[in-house]
């Protein structure tokens, strides 16, 4: 099917009340985009039968595939399945293969099953039932006439995401007559608008397509080519990737075939490739640099540990930063960042040490050192360097950016240290 149209329909009063953040819509939209499919509409309705039926009618009038999330559990009377059946003029019946899936799910979780739970096995005849490996409610691909389909997915993200990836994504891809291949290019140290300015002429919706995804201080570019086969698509990526590398230079820190990268993952990989270790000494970030590094699976070989020296005198007690240095230079200074990194590296016997001291606000700023003034230190085999940052935003943003700048410095340092 060329130019397939897909819509996302999320069902749940908890979304309308703002009790839950709708991460499902973003997950599905992003997955669809990576398949070359743009969902032109996302709709959220509550557990109200008539409004849901109306939403189905509207979505089916403009889309080939309507993907729903939520409302499959027995507590809401199967509302998502029941209203789809109503709109299609069909009845829900107990499907034996679905019943077996529900029974198996309860067996696997070692939980008793009530008769009510068997409602989760009711579907329109002809439905392809999709197993749920992380919950009890099966999903479904329901034929909706004229080559259209309604796809039902459970509401909890940890059920929906694997079910989509394992079962719905391959099914959608099999309906496409082209193969998509993507490269994910990660950038730190250049803002979204500067990246956009340099690459604007490459973003013109040709083949490959180029889409930016932004998070605090970072930009990820997704470069996607489509062709009849992977072998035909891949060569389309190469000249554009090379051109992007040429234009952006060393603000690119990672390029890979999936979107799982991060500054911390790159830094841990660089450390492990060199058999090197790192430790931390943190003031304003209060442990967040260490926690971000440790969040990478397998970090234990590379991350030795660290110090949180939040109160001024703990910098002296734990890291040996001279009290008179702090007095003379201010606790927020390059000198203190230097001494923190050097002290941590020595005490923990690590190859590298990262330090950060600064003002996250809201209070504490002065004309000479306004909120957002941060010093990062990096100690390594070749000595100690410090970097002065002037960050903007609220407390959380200043802390997040400090963590990213510190880890980016570590990455730069480890990559520059040739064996």
Token pair of 355 as six digits:
């330090």
Q: Which is nearer to a second copy, 41 or 86 (CB)?
A: 41
Of residues 66-105, those binding a second copy (CB under 8 A):
none
The residue with tokens 């039968």 is: 49
- Cis peptide bond N-terminal to 362, omega within 30: yes
Nearest C-alpha neighbor of 353 from the set 309, 397, 312, 396: 309
Could you give phi then psi for residue 181, rounded to 5 degrees? -130, 135
Pick the piece of the chain touching a second copy (CB under 8 A) from 9-17, 76-84, 92-100, 114-122: 9-17
Q: Distance between CA 302 and CA 240 in Å, rounded?
A: 34
Q: At its nearest, how many Å lie between a second copy and the CB of residue 123? A: 25
Binder of a second copy out of 218, 241, 254, 282 (CB under 8 A)? 282
List 82, 92, 270, 289, residue binding a second copy (CB under 8 A): 289
| H helical segments located in 220-262 | 230-248
Distance of CA 134 to the CA centre of its chain: 20
Q: CA angle, corner 327, sides to 323 and 328, nearest 5? A: 120
Q: What is the rounded distance in angstroms from the CA atom of residue 272 to the CA atom of residue 276? A: 6
Q: Determine, following the binding rule CB under 8 A, whether residue 210 of this chain makes contact with a second copy.
A: no
Within 28-67, which residues bind a second copy (CB under 8 A)? 28-33, 38-46, 48, 51, 55, 58
Contact 169, 31 (CB under 8 A): yes
Range 217-256, binding a second copy (CB under 8 A): none
- At closest approach, how far in Å is the CB of 44 from a second copy? 4
Considering only residues 297 through 326, tell me which ones interact with a second copy, judged by CB under 8 A.
297, 299-300, 303-311, 314, 317-318
Residue with tokens 């709708």: 22
Does residue 113 bind a second copy (CB under 8 A)?
Answer: no
Of 167, 224, 280, 402, the residue at the interface with a second copy (CB under 8 A) is 280
Beta bridge partners of 384: 379
Q: In the stretch 339-378, what mask flags binding to a second copy with x, by CB under 8 A? A: --------xx-------------xx---------------
Site for a second copy in 148-207 (CB under 8 A): 158
CB of residue 311 to a second copy, shortest distance in Å: 5
Residue window 393-412: x/- pattern of binding to a second copy, with contact defined by CB under 8 A: xxxx--x-------------
Q: Beta partners for 185?
A: 221, 255
Of 214 and 231, nearer to a second copy (C-beta) is 214
Q: Is 296 within 8 Å of 268 (Cβ atoms)?
A: yes
Structure tokens at 122: 């009711």
* Rounded distance between C-alpha atoms, residue 102 and residue 135, angstroms: 9
- For residue 295, state whether it binds a second copy (rule: CB under 8 A): yes
Tell me which stretch binds a second copy (CB under 8 A): 21-29, 165-173, 180-188, 320-328.
Answer: 21-29
Tell me the number of residues near a second copy by CB under 8 A: 73
Least gap, CB of 118 to a second copy (angstroms): 19
106 binds a second copy (CB under 8 A): no
What is the rounded distance in angstroms from the CA atom of residue 355 to the CA atom of residue 340? 6
């Amino acid at each position: 099917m060329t130019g397939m149209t897909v819509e996302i329909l999320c069902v749940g009063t908890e979304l309308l009340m703002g009790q839950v953040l709708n991460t499902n819509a973003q997950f599905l939209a992003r997955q669809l985009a990576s398949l070359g499919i743009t969902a032109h509409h996302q709709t959220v309705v509550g557990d109200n039968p008539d409004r849901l039926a109306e939403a189905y009618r509207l979505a089916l009038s403009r889309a080939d595939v309507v993907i729903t999330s939520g409302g499959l559990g027995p507590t809401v009377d199967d509302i998502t399945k029941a209203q789809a059946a109503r709109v299609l003029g069909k009845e829900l019946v107990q499907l034996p293969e679905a019943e077996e899936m529900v029974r198996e799910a309860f067996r696997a979780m070692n939980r008793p099953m009530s008769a009510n739970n068997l409602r989760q096995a009711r579907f329109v005849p002809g439905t392809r039932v999709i197993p749920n490996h992380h919950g009890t409610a099966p999903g479904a691909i329901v034929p909706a006439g004229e080559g259209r389909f309604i796809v039902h997915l459970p509401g909890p993200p940890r059920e929906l995401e694997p079910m989509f990836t394992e079962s719905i994504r391959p099914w959608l891809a099999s309906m496409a007559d082209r193969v998509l291949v993507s490269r994910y290019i990660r950038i730190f140290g250049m803002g979204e608008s500067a990246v956009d300015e340099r690459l604007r002429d490459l973003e013109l919706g040709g083949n490959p397509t180029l889409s930016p995804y932004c998070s605090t201080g970072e930009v990820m570019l997704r470069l996607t080519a489509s062709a009849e086969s992977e072998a035909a698509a891949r060569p389309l990526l190469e000249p554009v990737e090379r051109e992007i590398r040429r234009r952006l230079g060393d603000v690119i820190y990672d390029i890979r075939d999936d979107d799982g990268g991060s500054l911390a993952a790159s830094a841990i990989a660089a450390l492990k490739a060199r058999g090197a270790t790192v430790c931390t000494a943190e003031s304003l970030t209060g442990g967040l640099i260490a926690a971000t590094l440790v969040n990478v699976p397998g970090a234990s070989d590379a991350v030795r540990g660290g110090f949180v020296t939040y109160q001024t005198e703990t910098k002296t007690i734990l890291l040996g930063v001279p009290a008179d240095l702090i007095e003379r230079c201010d606790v927020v200074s390059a000198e203190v960042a230097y001494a923190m990194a050097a002290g941590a590296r020595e005490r923990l016997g690590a190859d590298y040490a990262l330090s950060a001291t600064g003002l996250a606000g809201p209070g504490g700023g002065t004309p000479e050192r306004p909120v957002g003034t941060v010093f990062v230190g990096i100690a390594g085999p070749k000595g100690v360097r410090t970097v002065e940052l002037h960050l903007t935003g609220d407390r959380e943003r200043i802390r997040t950016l400090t963590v990213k700048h510190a880890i980016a410095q570590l990455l730069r340092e480890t990559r520059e240290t040739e064996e």
